[in-house]
Amino acid sequence: MGCALATTSLATYEEDKNMDSLMVVILLFNGMTALDAVGPYEVLSKIPNSKVYFVSLEPGNIICQGGLNLVSNYSIKEINKADILLIPGGPGINNLLNNTEILDWIKNIHTTTQYTTSVCTGALLLGASGILKDKKATTYWNQLEKLKNYGAESIKSRYVVDGKVITSAGVSAGIDMSIKLVALIRNESLAQIIQLAIEYDPSPPFNAGSPDKVSKDLLEIFQKAIDKKSSLKDK
């Protein structure tokens, strides 16, 4: 049984190598959360015949939250289509929510995609672009209510698939979403092969990855830290 499954999976993988090329476009911006983009990149770049394009307002160094540098090789003026569009999140997203150049670009790219996706607060940018209106969607847990401002039905879930729009919760959920995306855009066998390739088998040392699971004391400490950071930015 196991041998038959392995043979089938290998055959499927070999067939996949002959499929049409896949254009994956990932938006980068200053103040983004690095893993929101890098996690999905590790999954999607392993799809045979895929090519990943890192895109930003202008090409060059992008400073992520915490100071890590990523490099964008293309400006949004150079990329006008995608098979997969991925919008990461992070505190820098707030600087883009009223940027008409970015919003128009996302709306135009969305008309060409097979799937339009987001990680964490990247969903807010999809919302600001009008893409989440009348859609079920998710985002980082303490930003869920904001999705309703964009006409979305807010769902608390690791990821939500609604037509060709897939949104995911905070940071690490982007990996879950990307593996599901591989299954949708190619097949489940390839998705499982890639999951194995990155040894994605989470077993965290603490059961504290959700506000429903962490203690009330720790949740209060976290929320006070977030509120303090926000108040300092407003000054």
Structural domains in the chain (count): 2
Is the per-residue pLDDT at 218 higher than 50? yes
pLDDT tens digits, one per residue of 141-175 = 999 999 999 999 999 999 999 999 999 999 999 99
| pLDDT of 56 over the 90 cut | yes
Segments of 69-148 assigned E as strands: 69-72, 74-75, 84-87, 115-119, 136-137
Copy the structure tokens of residue 53: 């394009």
Q: Is the same domain home to 116 and 226?
A: no
- 155 and 227 co-located in one domain: no
Catalytic residue set: 120
3-state secondary structure of 217: helix
Q: Same structural domain for residues 136 and 190?
A: yes
Mean pLDDT of 207-231: 87
Domain range holding 162? Answer: 2-203
What is the largest distance, in Å, between two alpha-carbon atoms of the chain? 64
Contact (CB, 8 A) for 172 and 88? no
Separation of alpha carbons 180 and 178, rounded Å: 5
Examine the pLDDT at 35 and tell me if it is beyond 50: yes
Range from 7-21, 36-50, 208-222 that averages highest in pLDDT? 36-50
Distance CA 210, CA 205 (A): 14
Output the pTM of the full model: 0.90
154 and 229 share a domain? no
Q: Domain containing 56 — which CATH number?
A: 3.40.50.880
C-alpha triplet 32, 170, 185: angle, nearest 5°: 95
Q: At 64, give phi and psi (nearest 5°).
A: -80, 165
- The pLDDT score that the predictor gives to residue 120 is 98
213 and 163 inside one domain: no
**Averaged pLDDT, 191-197:** 98
How far apart, in whole angstroms, are the C-alpha atoms of residue 54 and residue 60?
10
Q: In this structure, what DSSP letter does residue 130 have? A: T
Nearest to 186, CA basis, from 35, 31, 20: 20
